[in-house]
Amino acid sequence: MYVQIGTNLSDVEILIAKMTEKNINSTLVKRVNKLLESRIEHDKETLEALKELSTFFTENTLNARRNLRSKIERRSLAINEEFLSAFREVKNSLDFIYDNVLTMNNSVQSMTNKLQGTKTQILQLIDQTAKLQNESQILSMQQDVANAFIKCFQLTSNEIATLHGTSRESPITEEFFTVVNRVQEIHSNCRVLMQSGYQTLGLDIMQRMTLLQESALERLYRWTQTHCKQIEDELLVPLLIKAMNKLQDRPVLFKYIIDEYCSSRRSLLISSFIDALTLGEGIKGMPNPIEMHSNDPKRYVGDMLAWLHQAIPVEKENILTLVKKCNKADISDQIKQALNNITEGLCHPLQSRIENVVMTDAPATVLYSVATLIRFYKAIIQQVIPDSILGSTLADLLLLSEKSFLSRLQRETRIALGDRAEPPGNDLVPAPSVSRLLSLLNEILSVASIADDRERDMLQIVSCIVDPLLQEINETASRLPTIDMAVYLLNCMHQIQSTLALYEYMDQRLERLQAQSDAQIDTLTSEQASSLVANLNLGSIYTILQGREQGPLSSIPGMDSLSVKEFTNKLEGFLIMPDVLLLPQISLLQSGSHRETTQKRSFEVIGAIYKQLYEACFDPKNLYQNPSALFSRTPDELLKALMLH
């Protein structure tokens, strides 16, 4: 139908033309023009209308086109009737709904009126409820404050039970100290409470806490007094440390605990020392008892002092552990006194045994070793427990051992020297007593050189041995001829110097010995030079040269050219075999340095006389004819030749 309408547009155009001619309404013309100008294929509503039209406009005939309008109107009327019928049903439904809504409105109005009355009552209830809630909050806050106050200023039943214990023998635990700290905290908080204006309440609570604290400290004192002896128990040590910290605030109770501890440890220490002496410290006597070595004084005393050196620091460590959390500045004197009391019991058994050792007839070297051990351990123990009775005992034993050592050393020196001085042999070597004493001196100094306070000891030991030894040497040498005496003294001095030179602090002693040696070397030099002058016939020449007679030397008897030539020839023979004219005692000197020095000095005397003679002969005023023929060497050449021997 749509196509048919499109194909008959020419008829419409003809109609429009006719209408135009007949001056139809311009509005209609505009609408038709607008319709012609429109594009139907793009007009959705037009297409929908044409589609609907095609449902009942089935024939595109002239009659059908003429009746189209009426048919459309009838169809529109039918549609309106259907719409009216449907709307009538809707209206009936709406009327029914309206009646229902009206009924509901009446009911709602009635309910609204009732709710208004109820709202008034609810507002009253809300106000009353708000007041009750405020009161409840105030009461809850008061309850929280009361609970907090009780928590801060009161102990629970379990805490009180922990503080008092179930019985007198109930052990102290960590919880006990927690409760004690809690009591002290409450007691301190009472001051804040009193400052806030609650003096009466604060005083009451403070008084109750004081009673609880005193009761707890009394129980703690009894427990600590019983268990302080078990300081080596690792499980009890933390509790004992805390207990002593709490008891420090009660000086009397604290002192009683320290005294009880000292008494217990003193008995245990003495028992352990006696066991170490007689039974041995280990299981089944291992190691061996100390007294098994009583025949060896050095080891015996050393083992006893070494045992003290091991035991006493342990005691100091134990008591320092016991008062670890205490204020040590306040109890330093008590700690020192406690260590003094603990170790005092060791003094008697130690003193009696060491006195027996130092009073025995032991060698001086052994006694000195014992004295050195006592001095060493005394210094160590003095550092651990200063100003103690044990330290004083060791000081007394040290003094006794030193006196005994010096007495024994003097006696051994006298024994080594003998009642009479032993005369030296033909070889002029030191007497056997000298070697024995120097051997003893070397043995003792080797120990003293590594000891404490060694300078004083070494000087004292050297003085004790060397002074009587030098006296004996001088007495022996005084009975010898001059040359033999000088050689013998030099040999003895050399041996003493060789021994002392090995040790420090001997400088002054060595200087004195060297001065004595130099004096003897001067004596030997003088004797050797006199012997050379006599054997070389230099006596008269030297006398003439020193006499300063008037006139030329060549005219003096003994100073003529022949006498001078005879002297120089004899001197040349001496240079070939110098040992022939040397004193035999010179070869007995044990020190090569002494031999060399003596020869050098005596040769220097001959060289000086030769130089004086040489210069006098070459002096023209002495009227020597051809002095060069008298001398085969200059003074320097002669001295050089002498020094080669």
* pLDDT 10s digits, 362-395: 888 888 889 999 999 999 988 888 888 998 999 9
Enumerate residues 6+ apart whose C-beta is below 8 A from 645: 575, 578, 579, 599, 603
pLDDT score recorded for residue 352:
92
190: tokens are: 């009472």
pLDDT score recorded for residue 5:
39
Enumerate residues 6+ apart whose C-beta is below 8 A from 356: none
Whether the per-residue pLDDT at 606 is higher than 50: the answer is yes
Task: Read off the pLDDT of residues 448-482 as tens digits, 9 standing for 90 and up.
Answer: 777 677 778 888 888 888 888 888 888 888 888 88
Cα torsion 309, 310, 315, 320 to 10°: value is 90
Of residues 50 and 263, the one with the higher pLDDT is 263
Alpha carbon distance 149, 280 (integer Å) = 64
- How far apart, in Å, do the first and last CA atoms of the chain sit? 169
Whether the per-residue pLDDT at 356 is higher than 70: the answer is yes
pLDDT score recorded for residue 2:
39
| Mean pLDDT score, 7-36 | 60
453 backbone φψ class: left, alpha, beta (φ>0; ψ -120 to 50): left
Of residues 11 and 323, the one with the higher pLDDT is 323
Q: What angle do CA 294, 297, 302 make, to 5 degrees?
A: 95
pLDDT score recorded for residue 421:
54
* Matching CATH number, 526-643, of 1.20.1280, 1.20.81, 3.40.720, 3.40.120: 1.20.1280
- pLDDT band at residue 266, thresholds of 50, 70 and 90? very high
Alpha carbon distance 190, 275 (integer Å) = 56
Domain parsing of the chain, residue ranges: 2-66, 158-229, 265-405, 431-505, 526-643
pLDDT score recorded for residue 7:
40
Coil, strand or helix: which one is 545? helix
pLDDT score recorded for residue 35:
66
pLDDT score recorded for residue 50:
73
Enumerate residues 6+ apart whose C-beta is below 8 A from 446: none
Cα 509 to the chain's mean position, in Å? 44
- pLDDT band at residue 326, thresholds of 50, 70 and 90? confident
Whether the per-residue pLDDT at 183 is higher than 70: the answer is yes
Whether the per-residue pLDDT at 420 is higher than 70: the answer is no
pLDDT score recorded for residue 400:
92
| Mean pLDDT score, 613-620 | 84
- pLDDT band at residue 4, thresholds of 50, 70 and 90? very low
pLDDT score recorded for residue 3:
39
Task: Read off the pLDDT of residues 133-157 as tens digits, 9 standing for 90 and up.
Answer: 998 888 888 787 777 777 777 777 7
- pLDDT band at residue 190, thresholds of 50, 70 and 90? confident
225: tokens are: 């007094």
Helices and strands in the chain, H and E counts:
24, 0
Alpha carbon distance 211, 199 (integer Å) = 18
- pLDDT band at residue 43, thresholds of 50, 70 and 90? low
pLDDT score recorded for residue 283:
44
Alpha carbon distance 375, 508 (integer Å) = 26
Whether the per-residue pLDDT at 436 is higher than 50: the answer is yes
| Mean pLDDT score, 407-430 | 77
Q: Which of 63-77, 100-114, 204-218 has the highest mean pLDDT?
A: 100-114
Closest CA to 466 of 498, 443, 429, 496: 496
Residue with structure tokens 């109750």? 208
250 backbone φψ class: left, alpha, beta (φ>0; ψ -120 to 50): beta
| Mean pLDDT score, 343-362 | 89
Do 312 and 382 form a contact (C-beta atoms < 8 A)? no
Alpha carbon distance 595, 521 (integer Å) = 9
Whether the per-residue pLDDT at 434 is higher than 60: the answer is yes
Of residues 21 and 101, the one with the higher pLDDT is 101
Alpha carbon distance 141, 158 (integer Å) = 26
Q: What is the mean pLDDT of the chain?
A: 82
Kindly tell me the burial class for residue 179, based on how many C-beta atoms sit within 10 Å of its own C-beta (0-12, 13-18, 19 or more): buried
Task: Read off the pLDDT of residues 517-571 as tens digits, 9 standing for 90 and up.
Answer: 889 888 888 888 888 888 877 777 777 777 755 667 777 887 878 888 888 888 8
Task: Read off the pLDDT of residues 154-177 as tens digits, 9 standing for 90 and up.
Answer: 777 787 877 787 777 778 888 888
Whether the per-residue pLDDT at 282 is higher than 70: the answer is no
Of residues 378 and 20, the one with the higher pLDDT is 378
Percent of the chain with pLDDT strictly greater than 70: 91
Whether the per-residue pLDDT at 17 is higher than 60: the answer is no
Do 58 and 1 form a contact (C-beta atoms < 8 A)? yes
